Homo-oligomer: A and B are copies of this chain.
Amino acid sequence: MHYEDIANQVISRLFVELEASGRHVHVTEAQAQALFGHRLTPKRELSQPGQYLANERVTVIGPKGRFENVAVLGPERKAGQVELSLTDTRTLGIDAPVRMSGDVANTPGAILQGNMGTVALREGVIVAQRHIHITPQDAKTMGVADQQTVRLQAYTQRPLIFDDVVVRVSPQFQTRVHLDYDEANACGFQKGDLGRILS
């Protein structure tokens, strides 16, 4: 092993790579059929194993505005979900709460428009709570447990410390911090930037 590889190994145990998630949508199989006339088709793999960006895109419509050409992430889920930044929620006029993905009880809905049809989501619009996907091994090294919230120092152009970052541990994960674009811009995030769990 070269020195550089060893250095990379050490760094990867101390730091977590940051990623910014743009606005995106999750759909059920039935919703994919209604929107596109078929199931989702993968265009590109995402950092979390098994997750992909679909070729299919939707328009998301709220009372005050719309976003066209919004990314749909696969595979299909058991419930539709729209993940926006707080900035986005104002553009659409949808007063969505900050929630962890999947926690959509009593959230507002939105209209989704695909190339083949329209789906009215009765709930599922959220602002994603910032979170860390982490493997059991990395969780052990970094001393954190599933569902814990931690503080995270972002080593970025506009450095800051995020409070209330939710830890999610799974052997299915690749270790990554997920921010939305408000958070990414607030810290001046650039691709490859790292963070460190403080507590």
Footprint of B on A, CB under 8 Å? 85-87, 98, 130, 151, 157-164, 181-183, 185-188
List chain B residues, Cβ under 8 A from A130.
158
Given A87-B181, A182-B182: A157 touches B187 (CB 8 Å cut-off): no
7 pairs, A vs B, C-beta closer than 8 Å: A86-B188, A98-B158, A98-B188, A130-B158, A159-B164, A182-B182, A182-B186
Q: Which residue of B lies closest to A165 (CB)?
A: B160
| Additional A-B contacts beyond A161-B163, A186-B187 (18; CB < 8 A) | A85-B185, A86-B185, A87-B87, A87-B182, A87-B185, A98-B158, A98-B188, A130-B158, A158-B163, A158-B164, A159-B163, A159-B164, A160-B161, A160-B164, A161-B161, A182-B182, A182-B186, A186-B186
List chain B residues, Cβ under 8 A from A181.
87, 182
Please measure, in the bound complex, the distance between the C-alpha atom of A160 and the C-alpha atom of B164, giving whole angstroms.
Answer: 8
Count identical subunits in the complex. 2
Please measure, in the bound complex, the distance between the C-alpha atom of A183 and the C-alpha atom of B183, giving whole angstroms.
Answer: 7
Q: Is A162 touching B164 in the complex (CB atoms < 8 A)? A: no
Q: Is A160 touching B163 in the complex (CB atoms < 8 A)? A: yes
CB A66 to nearest CB in B, in angstroms, measures 16
Please measure, in the bound complex, the distance between the C-alpha atom of A159 and the C-alpha atom of B162, giving whole angstroms.
Answer: 7
List chain B residues, Cβ under 8 A from A157.
98
Please measure, in the bound complex, the distance between the C-alpha atom of A163 and the C-alpha atom of B186, giving whole angstroms.
Answer: 11
**Best-surrounded residue of A159, A164, A186, A187 (most CB of chain B within 10 A):** A186
Please measure, in the bound complex, the distance between the C-alpha atom of A130 and the C-alpha atom of B158, giving whole angstroms.
Answer: 9
Please measure, in the bound complex, the distance between the C-alpha atom of A160 and the C-alpha atom of B195, giving whole angstroms.
Answer: 14
